[in-house]
Amino acid sequence: MEGTPRLIDLVYASTIDPHRYDDLMACWQVHLDEALSSSPEPETIDPDAGQEEIERHFNRAFAILERLGRQGTEAQSFSALVDGESRPAVLVDATGRIVAANGRAIALFGVTPGDTIDVLSLEAAGLNNIRKALSRISRELPGRLLTVTRVLSPADGTTPIVALTRAPAIGDRPVALLSVADIAWSERIGDLLRQVFGLTPTECEIARGIIAGLPPHRLASARGRSEQTVRTQMKSVLRKLGLRNQAELVRMIAGLMQMDAAPELMNSRPDSGIDGRSTLMIGGTRLLDVAVIGPANGRPVLFIHGMLDGHGVSRTTRRILDERRIRLICPVRPNFGRSAPDGAAPGAPDRFARDAAAVLDHLGIASCPVIGHMAGSIHAFAIAARLGPRITHVVNVAGGVPIVSTSQFALMSPRQRVVAHTARFAPRLLPLILRAGIALLDSGGDAAFMKALYSAAPLDFGVANHPEISAILRDGYRFSIAQGHRAFEIDAHHVVQDWTDLAAASRQNVLLLHGRHDPVVGMQTVRDFAGRLGARAEHVEHPAQGQLLFYADPAFVFDALERVV
C-alpha cells in the first residue's frame, strides 16, 4: 500500500515523541480502511497485503516502548497504592528505600519518598527483621504479612505497631507496604462508650491515648495535666468499662472495631468522593480493590466500570446518592487500578462475576441490582448470569451491545472505530496502538487524548470540557492504564465480539439507558439489542445526551433506576 512507509515512520516516531500519536492513529485508520476494502474476504484483512512487514514493525516499536518504560507513571502508581490506605503507610522496595508515602505517614513519621527506612525510629531488632523480610519480598505472595515491629513517632511521641506486608507489584519492581497496624480510634465507638458506659469526653480522650500506646507521662504532657491526674483518669476509664487493665481495654476496642460494619469501607470521606476502599484477597493469591460511594446506610447497587472510566462521581451525583440513600459498590476489575491480573482475555467476564460474588459475600449483601457503565455492560450481564437471583436487575448506562454485524463499527466516531477495527481484525497489532496511547497520557497528553475521543461528538465534547467532569475523566484514564495496556486489551477482545449468548444466559429484567447522540453505540443498535432480549428489556433514550450521559445527567440515570428497581 502507498501509505505503508509513512505508517512505519509514524510507528517509530510515536515511540520518540508520544504527541505524534494522533498522526499515527490517523494514518493507521486510512491503512485499515484500505486493507478491509481491498480484502478478497469480506470483513477480513488480506494477510498477503504487506501485513507481516507492518506487524514486524509494530512489534519492534512496542518492544522499544516497553524498554523505555512508563515515564513518571511508576511513581504515580506507587502513590495510588498508599493514598488508598486509611492509615499511615509507606511503600518500601527491596533495598529499603521509601518509594511512596501517604500524607498521614509523612505527618506521623516525618518521612518523604527517597528516604530509607533508616530514618524511622525503629528498634535495632525491628529494623533487622524488616531488612530480612525485604530481601525476600520478590518470592512472597501479595498481601502476606512479613513482620511487625514498633516505631516511635517524632510528631506525637506515640509508638504504634507497624506491619510489613507484600504489596501488589508495579511493573517488575517488588514492593512492600509498611503501615500502622495499631487499632485506629473510631469516633463512632467513642460515642457508644459515652452513651452506654457514661465516659466523659475527657475519659474518651484518655482511652484514645491508651489505644495509641501513649504512656501516662506523655499523655500528661500532651494534655497539660499532671501524671497523677492522668493515672486517676485511666483508672476511672477502666472502672466504668468493668475492665482490669489497659490490655483488656485494647482487646475490647479491637473487638468493637471488628464488629463495626465494614470499618474499612466507612472511613471519612476524601475529596475524591469515594467513601472508602477495601482490598480483598481472592483465591488466596490475588488482590481485588473495591471502592464504595454513597451513605453507609444506603441501598447497595453494584457499579461496574468500563474501559476508560473509573468510579469517580460528580458533586451532583454525590448529592443524589446521599438524598436517595444509594450506595454504589464498585469492584475494580482485574488489571485496572490496584486490582491484580487474573489471566487471559477468554473467560474474563465470567471470572469477574465470581469476584463480584465474593464482594457481595464480604459486605453481607444478599441481593442488589447491577449497573454496567459503558464497556462494563458485558461484565454486568456476566454477573447477572452467574449470580442469578442475587442480582435483581441489570441496568446498562451508555452500555455496549453485542457486535452482531461489523456494520456497527461504521456508526462509531473515528478514534473508537480504528481501535475497534484493530481489536477485531488485527488483534496482534493492538498492543502497540494501546501502548503508544499510554505513552501520550504519561507525557501529559490527556487533553489531546480526550479531544480525539470526543471532538466528533459535540455534546460529549462539551461535557468532557466541563472542569469537574474533565478531572473525573482524566482520573479514569490514569485508573485504566495504572498497570499498562493489558486491561484495555482484554476489554477490547470482548467488546468487539458478539456476546449475545452471555446476555441470553441472564434472566433478570434489563434497563438500557442511552443517549441518542452516543458516538460509539448507535441508538438503533440499542433498540435492536432490546428487541432480541424480548419482554424483559426496556430501553430509555435521553434525547439530549451522548456517551457521557452518567456524568452529564445523573438524575436521569437514578430516576430510571428507582422506577424499575
The DSSP code sequence of 290-302 is EEEES-TTSEEEE
- 499 grid coordinates: 456476546
Q: How far apart are CA 308 and CA 317, in angstroms?
A: 19
In this prediction, residue 416 carries a pLDDT of 86
SS (H, E, C) 233-288: HHHHHHHHHCCCCHHHHHHHHHHHHHHCCCHHHCCCCCCCCCCEEEEEEECCCEEE
Question: What amino acid occupies position 386?
Answer: R
Let me know the angle formed at the C-alpha of 165 by 160 and 169, rounded to the nearest 5 degrees: 140
SS3 482: coil
Let me know the angle formed at the C-alpha of 514 by 512 and 516, rounded to the nearest 5 degrees: 140
In this prediction, residue 220 carries a pLDDT of 87
In this prediction, residue 126 carries a pLDDT of 82
DSSP 136: T
Maximum Cα interatomic distance, the chain, rounded to a whole number of Å: 93
Q: How far apart are CA 100 and CA 81, in angstroms?
A: 9
Helices (H) and strands (E) in the chain, counts: 24, 14
- 53 grid coordinates: 512487514
In this prediction, residue 258 carries a pLDDT of 54
Q: Sign of torsion, CA 427 428 429 432?
A: positive
Phi/psi of residue 302, each to 5°? -70, 135
DSSP 439: H
Q: How far apart are CA 252 and CA 243, in angstroms?
A: 9
Q: Which residues of 506-537 are buried (b: 16+ CB within 10 A; e: fewer)?
A: bebbbbbbbbebbbbbbbebbebbbeebeeeb
Q: How far apart are CA 233 and CA 227, in angstroms?
A: 10
Q: Which of 2, 3, 15 is nearest to 433 (CA)?
A: 15
How many residues make up the chain in this entry?
565
In this prediction, residue 264 carries a pLDDT of 38
Strands 161-166, 145-152: pairing is antiparallel
Q: How far apart are CA 68 and CA 439, in angstroms?
A: 10
What is the distance of C-alpha 301 from the center of its chain? 17
In this prediction, residue 218 carries a pLDDT of 81
Q: Which of 230, 245, 235, 242 is nearest to 196 (CA)?
A: 242
368: Cβ contacts below 8 Å, ≥ 6 apart: 299, 300, 301, 302, 329, 360, 390, 391, 392
Per run of 10 residues, the mean pLDDT along the chain (length 565 residues) is 78 89 91 77 54 86 79 57 72 89 82 86 83 88 78 72 77 79 68 85 87 80 88 92 82 66 36 61 79 91 93 91 94 91 92 94 93 96 96 95 86 86 89 88 80 87 89 87 88 91 94 94 93 95 94 95 83
In this prediction, residue 325 carries a pLDDT of 94
The overall pTM is greater than 0.85 = no
